[in-house]
Amino acid sequence: MKFFTTLLALASTALAAPSSQPQHDESSKRAAWPNGPFVTQGRYIRDTTGKNLTYAGTNWPGHNDVMFPEGLQYQSVEFIVQKIKSVGMNAVRLTFAIQMIDEIYSNGGKDITIQQALVQALGQANGAKILSQILAKNPRFTASTTRLQVFDAVAEELSKQQILIHLDNHISKGMWCCSGDDGNSWFGDKYFSAANWTRGLGYMADHGKSWPGLVSIGLRNELREPTNNQAAKNSYNWQTWYTYMKQAAQAVNNANKDLLIFLSGLNYDTYLNPVFEGTALTPGNGKFSFNDFPGYANKLVLEIHNYETGINSCSSLQNNLYSKGFKAMSSSAVNVFPVMLTEFGFAMDANTYRNTYASCLSTYLPSQKAGWTIWVLAGSYYIRSGRQDYDEDWGMLNHDWSNWRQPAYINGPFTSMLRGTLN
Ligand SMILES: *[C@@H]1O[C@H](CO)[C@@H](O)[C@H](O)[C@H]1NC(C)=O
Ligand SMILES: *[C@@H]1O[C@H](CO)[C@@H](O)[C@H](O)[C@H]1NC(C)=O
């Protein structure tokens, strides 16, 4: 059985090689940012020049009710990207909802307009008002611009300013994430169709081929135990996780051979132990194997989240991050991967950034050479949890996205964490 799998893996590697590595344009690829496609080698991510690299950036949500990137009623795409660039961040985790792709399929292959999306999410009057603000700030858009075209514009500008794009499937139904009873927690939950999810990932992986900066995709944000759905809860385990991760990774790779694929763990993506420890994916006996990703085993990256914001011991925080995820970057892991902390964050007030959690991360992350994306860029949301123009007090940017909410953090510990990670 094992032998058979290996043969299949070799066969598809050989078949995949000519299309994924066209020899004639290798040199032109080498010359052009971002020097992709990226591959992994052990705990490192490498570009086509052989250079190791990682991400140091932020989360830009596009998965809430309107289902396109936030902030555009306050600032232009160019302004926001310039703000990200100004402190030296090199990556954006751009989140999307599967519902957007479901609606494209329901609508004969055509996405709905931002006008329609805003009216659906905000109501007739406020939808019209926010639309006119978006058009005033972003004259390249019109009422008939689609949500996907907004993603395209954001991706184009990020690429132009040489910021790596990591797409993240954040949720199925477009809304604020995440809780155990939001219907998006686990396969088979109210809004979480595994088939729609796999289809949506493939769709975005394919669509993103036209974005020069797109280098990776996260299969699913913060899988968690359903608290109000017994049928879905019954399958909440590592065995089910692996079944679906293999399907989704294959769908992404079929659609776009270039992308790195990020796997996230259970309990809100706080641990991945059986994956890197090579222990049984319970309740079955099966184990994680790179052979199950034939031809693209060197595309897999692990991501974890940490929100232990009240912790008062830096060594406890380090131990938790290490034992639940970062250990995968060490030689004591059975399966070695690059690991990124794709979410962490805290209130951007005058004091919180001085606490143990924030200051510990700003030295520990560079020391591990672990990539990261902070939650969250957004200073406000079109709508969150039913409240319009929701103020995000964890936002790096202020309410109208015009400046940093807490410049002392951004220009201080944040910048040194960034430089330490990227240098
Ligand atoms: C870069 O990655 C390679 C593996 O691809 C590794 O052997 C090497 O030590 C890394 N170099 C640095 C400076 O981290
Ligand atoms: C899956 O997508 C179809 C459209 O293709 C949609 O009608 C259906 O409601 C979606 N399923 C879920 C659970 O959202």
The Cα–Cα gap between 25 and 313 comes to 51
**Model pLDDT for residues 219-241, shown as the tens digit of each residue:** 999 999 999 999 999 999 999 99
Q: Which ligand is nearest to the CA of 194?
A: 2
What are the backbone dihedrals phi and psi of residue 377, each rounded to the nearest 5 degrees, phi first?
-70, -40
Does 29 score more than 50 pLDDT?
Answer: no
Mean pLDDT computed over 125-141: 98
The Cα–Cα gap between 263 and 292 comes to 14
The Cα–Cα gap between 260 and 216 comes to 4
The Cα–Cα gap between 351 and 160 comes to 35
The overall pTM is greater than 0.75: yes
Q: Is the CB of 237 under 6 A from ligand 2?
A: no
Neighbours of 40 (CB within 10 A): 18
**Alpha carbon nearest to ligand 1 atom 6, residue:** 44
**Residue 58 has what pLDDT?**
99
More confident residue, 57 or 5: 57
Decide: 88 and 81 in contact? Cβ < 8 Å: no
Mean pLDDT computed over 391-402: 98
**Alpha carbon nearest to ligand 2 atom 2, residue:** 102
**Residue 31 has what pLDDT?**
58
HEC sequence for 78-112: HHHHHHHHHCCCCEEEEEEEHHHHHHHHHCCCCCC
* Residue entry with tokens 């990932």: 201
Most ligand 1 atoms within 8 A of CB, residue of 38, 40, 44 to mutate: 44
Give me 306's structure tokens.
């940490």
The Cα–Cα gap between 231 and 229 comes to 6
**Residue 62 has what pLDDT?**
98
Q: Which ligand is nearest to the CA of 51?
A: 1
Q: Is the CB of 161 under 6 A from ligand 2?
A: no
What are the backbone dihedrals phi and psi of residue 120, each rounded to the nearest 5 degrees, phi first?
-60, -40
